[in-house]
Chains A and B, each alone.
Chain A
Amino acid sequence: MVEMVSRPYERAFEKHALANPEVLCISADLTSSCEIDKFRDNHPDQFLSMGMAEQNMMSFCGGLGLAGYRPFIHTFGVFTYRRPYDQLMASIAYPRRKVRIMGFLPGITTPGGMTHQAIEDISVMRSMPNMTILETGDATEVESICEAADSIDGPVYCRVLRGSMPRLFDTPIKVGEMRELSLGNDVLIVTAGITTEEAMRATKALEAAGVSVRHLHLHTIKPFNAEAILDHINAVKGGVITLENHVTEGGIGSLVAEVMADNGVGKKLRRLGLKDTYAHGGSRAYLMRYYGLDALALTQGVEDLLGKKLGISEADLAEARVDAVHSLAKAEGL
Chain B
Amino acid sequence: MWNIAVKNERTTEDIALGIRRRVFEHAMRNNGGYLSQACSSAEQLAWLYNEELNLGAPTLPMIPKPFGGVPHADNPDYHTGAGYNGPFEPDFDRLFIAPAHYALVAYATLIETGRMAAEGLEMFNKDGSSVEMIGAEHSPGMEVHNGTLGIGLSTAAGLAWARKRKGEKGRVWVYMSDGEVQEGQTWEAIQCCAHHRIDNVKAIMDVNRQQCDGAMDSVMEVGDIKTKMENFGAVVVEVDAHNVNDMREAAKTKHEGKPLIILANSNPFHAMPILEERFPRLHYVRFKSEDERARMNISIAESLGVDPIDYAH
Chain A residue at smallest Cβ distance from B96? A63
State which of B145, B157, B166 has its C-beta within 8 Å of the C-beta of A95.
B145
Q: Which residues of chain B are near A59, meaning CB under 8 Å?
A: 151, 154-155, 158, 185, 189
In the assembled complex, the Cα of A59 lies from the Cα of B98 at a distance in Å of 12
Q: Are B155 and A50 in contact (CB under 8 A)?
A: no
Q: Are B154 and A154 in contact (CB under 8 A)?
A: no
Q: Are B161 and A55 in contact (CB under 8 A)?
A: no
State which of B163, B184, B192 has its C-beta within 8 Å of the C-beta of A51.
B192
In the assembled complex, the Cα of A83 lies from the Cα of B307 at a distance in Å of 51
Q: Which residues of chain B are near A148, meaning CB under 8 Å?
A: none
Chain A residue at smallest Cβ distance from B78? A96
**CB-contacts of B205-246 with A (<8 A):** none
Q: Which residues of chain A are near B156, meaning CB under 8 Å?
A: 63
Q: Are B144 and A62 in contact (CB under 8 A)?
A: yes
State which of A64, A94, A153, A154 has its C-beta within 8 Å of the C-beta of B162.
A64
A119 to chain B, nearest CB (A): 25
Q: Are A95 and B137 in contact (CB under 8 A)?
A: yes
Q: Are A63 and B188 in contact (CB under 8 A)?
A: no
Determine if A86 is an interface residue (Cβ-Cβ < 8 Å).
yes
In the assembled complex, the Cα of A260 lies from the Cα of B191 at a distance in Å of 50
State which of A55, A60, A129 has its C-beta within 8 Å of the C-beta of B157.
A60
Determine if A226 is an interface residue (Cβ-Cβ < 8 Å).
no
Q: Are B158 and A60 in contact (CB under 8 A)?
A: yes
A289 to chain B, nearest CB (A): 40
In the assembled complex, the Cα of A55 lies from the Cα of B157 at a distance in Å of 13
Scoring B residues 121 to 145 as 1 if CB is less than 8 Å from chain A, else 0, what string do you get? 0000000000000000100000111
Q: Are B73 and A154 in contact (CB under 8 A)?
A: yes
B189 to chain A, nearest CB (A): 5
In the assembled complex, the Cα of A51 lies from the Cα of B189 at a distance in Å of 11
Known: A63-B158, A95-B145. A87 touches B196 (CB 8 A): no
Known: A56-B185, A68-B162, A94-B70. A63 touches B157 (CB 8 A): yes
Q: Are B155 and A130 in contact (CB under 8 A)?
A: no
Scoring A residues 74 to 110 as 1 if CB is less than 8 Å from chain B, else 0, what string do you get? 0000000000001100110011100000000000000
B interface residues (Cβ-Cβ under 8 A, vs A): 70-73, 80, 137, 143-148, 150-151, 154-163, 166, 184-185, 188-189, 191-192, 195-196
13 A-B residue pairings within 8 Å (CB atoms): A59-B158, A59-B189, A62-B155, A63-B159, A64-B158, A68-B162, A91-B144, A91-B145, A94-B70, A95-B71, A95-B80, A96-B72, A96-B73
A interface residues (Cβ-Cβ under 8 A, vs B): 48-51, 53, 55-56, 58-69, 86-87, 90-91, 94-96, 129-130, 153-154
Q: Ordered nearest first, which 9 A-B pairs have the shortest CB separation?
A: A63-B158, A67-B162, A59-B154, A56-B188, A60-B158, A63-B159, A53-B188, A55-B185, A63-B155
